[in-house]
Amino acid sequence: METRKVLSSLCYFSIFFAGFIFPFIVWLASGDQATKQHAKKSLISHLIPIIPTIFVVMAVVYEMVNFQNDLPIFTIISIVITGIVWLVVVIYNIIKGVKVLISE
């Protein structure tokens, strides 16, 4: 198995163990253009769920500060959307990691 394939695949799989740090390091340190490209793509896909997560944190803080007796719709919707985004990103990274690993 080629080192560049394993390294590129690990960039995608690092969503489970190293977050965006591993693809960032590979992107900076790698000399192979294909590996750099995969590291950049996986880095971007690792950073995408951070945006809705920020909204969830803001919604929870807002609900805690302005505690009311009604249903916190914005908070519930943002949590559901964030969960869906995280699930899609994890599935995407698994699929891309396997494709890179088994590609010819």
Nearest to 29, CA basis, from 18, 19, 40, 42: 40
**Each residue's pLDDT tens digit, 39-55:** 999 999 999 988 888 88
> Which pLDDT belongs to residue 2?
85
3-state secondary structure 40-87: HHHHHHHHCCHHHHHHHHHHHHHHHHCCCCCCCHHHHHHHHHHHHHHH
Looking at the structure of the chain, the number of domains it has is: 1
> Which pLDDT belongs to residue 73?
78
> pTM for the complete prediction?
0.81
The residue range of the domain holding 20 is 3-102
